[in-house]
Amino acid sequence: MTHKNTSDLGQRLAELRRVFDETFALPPPQPAQAQLEFALVVAGGERYAIRMSELAGLEVNRKTVPMPAGPRGLLGLSAVQGQLIPVFELAALLGAGGRGGAPRWLALHRSQELVGLAFDEFLGSRRLPAEAVHALDPAPGRAPLSRQAIQVDSGLVHVLDLPLIVSAVALNRKEEPEP
């Protein structure tokens, strides 16, 4: 080994020690800000947000076989992930009028069983800091299917509570009279 190589190695080691020591002089890094991801959808002409963490998936253009009778909002059955699932029109469950025609998209939610919630359009997703979610006061005399909202573009968008919506659907299904 030549003298020049030993000198270069010594300088490199000194530089590494200096950089290592400086890392302890810096303040500790701030913890990463909690981020939430939302799917933005349109149902009954209104924009809504759905927490991605509450979704088992999104499907598009799934054939739904109509049912002759059933609870409010039931569109029929669809085959998803190798099983038949009930599909409900999200706009009807929210008390909004549909656009007419079958919605193209399905938000899949799994509670005890997989349930499809049909909506008209998928507008994309947004990742926002947890602080961007605002609590809403419950509307008097209405079931709180949305307790929070987020700011998207220039407007406030309600964040749907999928577990609450699906449990309301399950409750309505149990209250239906047997044929």
How many Å apart are CA 2 and CA 96, to the nearest integer?
82
Whether 27 is covered by a domain: the verdict is no
Domain containing 128 equals: 35-175
Alpha helices in the chain (DSSP H): 3-25, 90-93, 162-175
Whether 25 is covered by a domain: the verdict is no
Number of domains in the chain: 1
Whether 140 is covered by a domain: the verdict is yes
Whether 64 is covered by a domain: the verdict is yes
Assign residue 86 the CATH number of its domain.
2.40.50.180
CB 56 within 8 A of CB 110: yes
Other Cβ atoms less than 10 A from the Cβ of 179: the count is 5
Whether 4 is covered by a domain: the verdict is no
- pLDDT score recorded for residue 167: 85
Q: What is the pLDDT along the chain (179 residues), one digit of tens a residue?
A: 555 667 788 888 888 888 877 777 777 766 667 899 999 999 999 999 999 999 999 999 999 999 888 788 899 999 998 899 999 999 998 887 655 667 899 999 987 789 999 999 999 999 999 888 999 887 665 556 788 999 888 788 999 999 988 888 776 655 544 44
CB 99 within 8 A of CB 42: no
Instruction: Provide CB contacts within 8 A for 62, sequence distance 6+.
Output: 78, 79, 80, 87, 106, 116
CB 126 within 8 A of CB 133: no
- pLDDT score recorded for residue 60: 94
Whether 3 is covered by a domain: the verdict is no
Whether 107 is covered by a domain: the verdict is yes
Pairing of strands 114-119, 57-60: unpaired
